[in-house]
Structure 1
C-alpha cells in the first residue's frame, strides 16, 4: 500500500463499493480503507474521514477522470469554488477584520439553550453571548485573545 493514493472518500460503505466496482469494470485495480470500521461503528465515519477509495499512483488520473465521468466526484472541488477566507491574527476591537471599517459595535445575543435551561432549572447562567458586529459589511465575529493570537502565529 506504499504507492497508493486516496482518490475520494465516502460516508457510507455501499457508496464506496459502487465506485470501486465502477473502476474495476474499467480494469483499474482499487481497494477500500476503513470500510469495516465505518460499517461497524457508523458514527465514526466522519471522524475517520469516511471510507477511502485507494488507487495505484500510475492509474490515479485515469481513475479520477472515470469517477468524474460517472458522477462519483465533481470535476471542480469545493476548495476551488469556495471564496478564500481572510485569516486574522488578532482583532483590535476597533476595526472590522473583514472590511476594516470603524463603524462597529459590541453585540450581545441571548443564547437560546441557556434561556431554556434558566426557565426549566431556575438557575442563573450567563444568558448572553458576546461578540462584535460591523454595520458596514454586516459581518459578526468573536474577539481573539492575545494568548490565542500567539498560538495562531506559532501554528503558521
Structure 2
C-alpha cells in the first residue's frame, strides 16, 4: 500500500532555492503557488500573519524544518510543498517562540478542510522523523527523487 505525505505535489517541490528571510520565501511561495492555481492572492500575507502569531519552526533531527500554513479561505486547491533551501531561513520554534531555528526544509501546507490538517501533519511528521528519508531529500538531485522518497511503499 502506498503511504507517505498526503497531498504532496511534485510541481511544488523546489530544490536549492535561496531566500534571505521568511518574508521573501512567503512572497515567492504565494506568487508561484498562485500562478499554479493552488492559492489566492492573499496567501502570502496570510502566511506571514499566521507565522507571527503561531510559529511553525521545528527543531527536528537531523535537519530543522518549518511547516507554514494558513486558514482555508486563502487556498484554492489542497497541496503540500517541499522546499529545500540553499541557506537556512530563521523561523521561531513552535514550542518556544523565544528560540529561533535555522530551517533547511520548508513544507508549506495548503489545506481546505481543517479537519484533514491533523492527517496531513501526521503523514509529514512520520517522514520528518525518518532519518533515511530526510537524508535522501538532502541529497536528492531532482524533484522526482524527493517525491519518490515522500510517497513510499509500505
TM norm. shorter chain > 0.5: no
Q: Which interval holds the TM-score relative to the shorter structure?
A: under 0.3
- TM-score w.r.t. the length of structure 1 is 0.26
- TM-score w.r.t. the length of structure 2 is 0.26
